[in-house]
Amino acid sequence: METHTLEPGDLDAVHDLWDRAFGPSPGRDDAWALRAMGEDRFLGVRDGGRLIAVGHYHPFEQWWHGRAVPMGGVGGVCVAPEDRGRGVGRRLAAGLLELMDGRPLSALYPATAPVYRSVGYEHAGAQYRLTLPPAPLRTLAAGPVEVRRAGPADVGEVTALLRRLHAGARHHGPIDPGEDQVRRFLQDERLYSYLAADGFLAYGWDEGREHLAVRRCVAGSATTARALWAVVGSGSSIARTVRANVAPDDPMLWLLHDRSEDELRRVGWMLRVLDAPAAIAARGFPVAVSVDVPLLVEDELRPANAGGWRLTVREGRGRLERAAERRDATRLPARGLAALYAGVPMATLRGAGIVTGNAGADPLLDAAFAGTPFMLDYF
């Protein structure tokens, strides 16, 4: 078997694998795939010249405690049905790690967790999909907030606003959509986009006119949140339900007078630390937390991450510096480091047998990395 990046001539074979793995697609939009191939972000595995597995990554940035960290979002991973069970998936996943070299983090929505755990990914956060009756939204008074329709000419303003809001809220996990994704939102005729001085809303109809689907609603104040959600609620006389991608602690959930009938579905995603020192340096941390602890990392596929480290956190910044291996260090495999980075409590990681070694620093690590990661996008 050979693993290598793909070229435009491989596109029909890629679609054949995707159809067999995910079902036939109603239409082909190859522009993004061709772009990924041109940027060497598309990987394939061949057996005797036959393409048997494919995967690619998106060059995202991801917010961690209010700071944007470069991240590779892995997607479109599949193995030919007749070649499953041969270790092809792990080979492809390991190849994607190398392909993303230079990016501190990687994330993905797993079809099967064991394959990704075997190469150092671990469960980190989720996309939270809220379903609620529209009636409670009618109780949100818009207030004295100017809300206007947004279009393609607003791409720069919307992108800058979303970045400011995620940073100010010290969010964990959301993808920075960048101007390209924001432009697609604003150009999509199926979405209705609205802009306020400190908020943005994009929503549309789902499944005919029975459901309203909120793709993104982010606000920097309670008055703006009320105003934007009131726009959604204005269609409540027709829609049966409202479906929204939200943070698990979205302020809207506390603005509503009645939450007795809402339903929150969790779609989990996994995280992988590709460059440990760079990932720590790029991430934000609580300003009031001070940490100085020894770590011992085990990472077979990324040897530069392995060995003894000294983790320090001061004034909202973190550093990971090389140090001698110490017997009193917290011991982390690659997937344990990913889970810690995402804020999974140390007691949980020890209870699952993922983290071992000295537990004396656990409260400090919990305080430094605490958070509830979420994404608003699926890829």
DSSP output for 50-113: EEEEEEEEEEEEEEETTEEEEEEEEEEEEE-GGGTTSSHHHHHHHHHHHHTTT-SEEEE--S-H
> pLDDT tens, 200-248?
999 999 877 789 999 999 999 999 999 999 999 887 678 889 999 999 9
Helices (H) and strands (E) in the chain, counts: 12, 19
CA distance linking residue 42 with residue 58, whole number of Å: 10
Are 294 and 365 a contacting pair, CB within 8 Å? Answer: no
pLDDT at 141: 73
- The pTM (predicted TM-score) of the whole model is 0.94
pLDDT digits (tens, 9 = 90+) for 33-43: 999 999 999 99
Residue 120 near residue 164 (C-beta atoms within 8 A): no
Q: How many C-beta neighbours within 10 Å does residue 165 have?
A: 19
pLDDT tops 80 at residue 143: no
